């Protein structure tokens, strides 16, 4: 079942199941990983996942019920930052396209963050035009030999596995010649190099692949169907960035701006007041729109609406952080924390200067804002698509 809303009886039945589980698994007496593993095995990790793979096959809307019951018991909280790509992108893709063996092998350690995941999509010459990528995978004796370069790969330096999109047939149009693999990031031939950012840290990486061997059993979906599999990953990525989790009012970027306004009345002006009111209202609209998006998710897989949430998130973050710099005046320019770090994710508590610099990447990561506008125009608003002269041309014949 995957109904949009669950009945009252299903709600109560799930609560009883969780309480019975908690009677046998005391969160206070168990370590975090042990508790989360037991929760997975009981089907109470993500309740709409299939039975035997961390779920009970219930409605998506019941996940909120499960989280509330575990929170009341003081159970360990799943921190998505520890494995943001694994939880937000890899898991839904494996659920949708993985074999039973692949689900058994990858999902459980992904949930507990024992195995971290990254995403190997973008390339130096294939960012916005992802289907134009050049990384090649050639089939040899039941394996695939992969050579190429990926870029902007978050947490590749920590990852055990990578979601890899590669070209397996250059003789067909670019979208048709792709296949989707799971790459062992510790395999011979995988080299990860840090990319230092404007903030001084290095969340991102370049990844060089030289004759890397991937077993055919680590392929997701059919050969040549990689674009279809990748769409599932990308849709979930945009939702996870733009509004996958419920957030309280004034949490996030607008919370920092509002706190600064309250703490420093001496810096207030009428013009800044008007800006803050507008930004606060827009942030609240975005928050409520995120609630509506989660209701849509309860009815099925994420669609192009997630692109709108991610687009709004990027623009608001940049405008709010710009307001913070203006409000701080000359103090807002005093960013000097250029320490080379290799974090698992951005740390927006590092100050207004950091938030301003880091927000510049929001309109690039997870799909550029320009591409997201195209998706919204074509798939949400129903406007005519842009002309695509390369649609029926073999990839090998395209100019590069």
Q: Which of 115, 237, 305, 324 is catalytic?
A: 237
Whether residue 237 lies in the annotated active site: yes
Q: Which residues pair with 195 in a beta bridge?
A: 204
Q: Which residues are catalytic?
A: 237
């Amino acid at each position: 079942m995957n109904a949009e809303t669950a009945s009252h009886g299903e709600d109560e039945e799930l609560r009883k199941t969780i309480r019975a589980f908690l009677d046998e698994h005391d969160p206070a007496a168990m370590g975090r990983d042990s508790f989360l593993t037991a929760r997975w095995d009981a089907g109470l990790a993500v309740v709409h996942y299939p039975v035997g793979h961390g779920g009970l096959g219930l409605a998506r809307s019941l996940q909120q019920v499960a989280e509330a019951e575990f929170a009341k018991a003081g159970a360990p909280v799943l921190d998505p930052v520890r494995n943001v790509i694994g939880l937000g992108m890899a898991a839904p893709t494996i659920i949708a396209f993985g074999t039973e063996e692949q689900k058994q092998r990858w999902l459980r350690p992904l949930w507990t963050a024992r195995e971290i995941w990254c995403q190997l999509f973008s390339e130096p010459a294939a960012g916005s035009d992802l289907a134009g990528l050049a990384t090649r995978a050639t089939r040899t004796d039941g394996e695939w030999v992969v050579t190429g370069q990926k870029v902007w790969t978050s947490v590749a330096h920590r990852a055990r596995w990578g979601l890899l999109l590669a070209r397996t047939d250059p003789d067909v149009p670019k979208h048709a010649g792709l296949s989707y693999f799971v790459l062992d990031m510790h395999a011979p031939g995988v080299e990860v190099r840090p990319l230092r950012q404007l903030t001084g840290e290095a969340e991102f990486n370049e990844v060089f692949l030289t004759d890397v061997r991937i077993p055919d059993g680590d392929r997701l979906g059919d050969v040549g169907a990689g674009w279809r599999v990748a769409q599932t990953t990308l849709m979930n990525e945009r939702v996870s960035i733009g509004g996958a989790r419920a957030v309280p009012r004034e949490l996030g970027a607008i919370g920092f701006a509002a706190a600064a306004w309250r703490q420093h009345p001496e810096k207030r002006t009428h013009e800044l007041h008007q800006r803050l009111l507008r930004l606060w209202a827009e942030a609240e609209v975005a928050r409520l729109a995120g609630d509506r998006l989660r209701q849509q998710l309860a009815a099925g897989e994420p669609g192009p609406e997630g692109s709108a949430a991610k687009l709004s998130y990027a623009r608001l973050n940049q405008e709010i952080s710009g307001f913070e710099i203006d409000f701080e005046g000359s103090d807002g320019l005093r960013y000097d924390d250029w320490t080379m770090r290799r974090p698992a994710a951005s740390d927006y508590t590092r100050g207004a200067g950091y938030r301003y610099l880091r927000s510049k990447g929001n309109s690039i990561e997870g799909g550029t804002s320009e591409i997201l506008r195209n998706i919204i125009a074509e798939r949400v608003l129903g406007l005519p698509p842009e002309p695509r002269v390369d649609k029926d041309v073999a990839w090998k014949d395209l100019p590069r």
